[in-house]
Structure 1
Amino acid sequence: MTEMRAGQELLLIGIPGLLGTRTLLESREEELCRRFSRRYLREERRKLERLPLLSFREDRIMACGLLLHREDRRAVTLYEKDLIAKENAGEIFPGELGDLIPGYAKDYGLSALISVEDGGVLDAIWRLCEGKKGGRSFGCRFSYGKIPFLSLSIELCELFSQNPFRLPSGNCCLMALERGYALSEKLGQCGVRSSVIGSLSEDRKRLRTDGTAPSFLTKGEVPNPLSGR
């Protein structure tokens, strides 16, 4: 990997908050059934189960459960039209595509890779900017609006007064790299969601840029939003 430097792009790959979203669906089922039909909740669970499973290493990004074209096993892009009709007709199906983007670290200038875990996206941003132990740390500028949550995650967080940016994730990764937008476009062509949410900066300030006033990310205590703390 290359060395981290100011100006590198922060790329979030996968959908943040999935683990927390699943937990809320399971643990608050009775409350949800009083607000939504069971059919709707079953459909939302089915959508979650059908999302691609991603894994990340420095030499490759791997995935299974992607939608593929049956004829040539080519990945279905995020921009494909008439997905439901094509799936009903048997033209596309969920399948495995093991080495999704081999050699991406060198091709796109990867400098750091952090799994988004229990502390959610904000914790991952902090940990990535801190860098390796004993190494240099960085600041960043990032946007809440560019973090690609599912609408279901936002809806459940609003309903149960949870912070989506602290939701446990899994199956999601934050990277610092030279060509984040290029890799994001490539991922979209493979049917994987991603978004450049910001960039590294020289100072150590971690600043949210899309609020009505400057908002700084501080270390503090990273709570588990589902623990009741």
Structure 2
Amino acid sequence: MRTAGQGPGGFEKRDGHINPGQELIFAGSAGLAGARRILEAKKEILSRRFAPSFLRELKEEEYSVKSWLDQATAEKKSPVTAWEFAGEGGVLAALWNFSGIYCTGLDVDLRLFPVHQAAIEICELFELNPYRLYSENCVLLAADSGSRLVRELKKAGIPAAVIGWAEKGIARKLRHGEEAAGYLERPQPDELLKLGL
């Protein structure tokens, strides 16, 4: 599995920085790209289970997180200090990479990630984890003012939320609401592989 920013000796440092206490923001919809691939491959099964209007919602959200980030960073006014795009392995792989690349600990609440309802329903049907599902057009961001950044993203039509914060050390803490869920594990194979995709 591809691991962003990882070289032969481990993670390579890249431009940008994360300071302890900075907020972590997720922009995009976790697992949406993977759910779209499942829809293409399993259309017959899904059309028997879900209404056509429900499945059409998967294709209606159109925005470019990369274009927004390119423009925001080019203007030199962006509060973003570091970022990592999600992709294969979903948002959990991106969190692992983000922490490793910038050598920082994380405290993240999985319930705060924007996830499209249709993606959740498809994952439940096939017993998949939406946080390990392919998540193209999504990015993790670090900034001092997460709420301001979320407003800017939503104004551009991009789902976004503050999902946690950076911490000293290397611990990658996961939560489900107020309950501590444990620590982030090394990236697992993408959930699409369970369906042969």
The equivalent residue for 1:32 is 46
Structure 1 position 199, deviation (Å): 0.7
Looking at structure 2, the residues matched to 156 and 169 of structure 1 have their Cα atoms a distance apart, in angstroms, of 14
d(CA) in 2 for partners of 1:52, 1:33: 22
1:166 corresponds to = 132
Match for 1:175 among 141, 149, 155? 141
The equivalent residue for 1:16 is: 30
Q: How does 1:100-179 map to 2 (within 5 A)?
A: 101=72, 103=74, 106-108=77-79, 110-131=80-101, 137-179=103-145
Please give the secondary structure, in 1, of the residue aligned with 2:192: coil
User: Structure 1 stretches of 5 or more lacking a match?
Assistant: 63-98
Question: Retained in 2: the 8 A contact 1:19–1:170?
Answer: yes
Sort the Cα spacing of 1:157 and 1:105 in 2 relative to 1 into closer, same or farther, 3 A: farther
User: Which residue is equivalent to 1:61?
Assistant: 69
TM-score (normalizing by structure 1): 0.70
Q: Structure 1 runs of 4+ off > 3 angstroms?
A: 101-107, 211-214
Return the index of the structure with the highest Cα Rg: 1
Q: What are the within-5 Å matches in structure 2 for residues 62-101 of structure 1?
A: 99=71, 101=72
The reply to whether residue 50 of structure 1 matches residue 60 of structure 2 is yes
The SS at the match of 2:88 is coil
Task: Determine if the alignment matches structure 1 residue 195 to structure 2 residue 166.
Answer: no
How many pairs does the alignment contain? 180
TM-score when normalising by structure 2:
0.81
Structure 2 gap ranges (5+): 1-14
Question: In the TM superposition, what is the alpha-carbon distance from 1:53 to its structure 2 partner?
Answer: 2.5
Percent identity reads 31
Tell me what 1:216 maps to: 183
Q: Compared with structure 1, are the counterparts of its residues 159 and 105 closer, same or farther at alpha carbon in structure 2 (3 Å cutoff)? A: farther
1:204 maps onto 2:174 in alignment: no
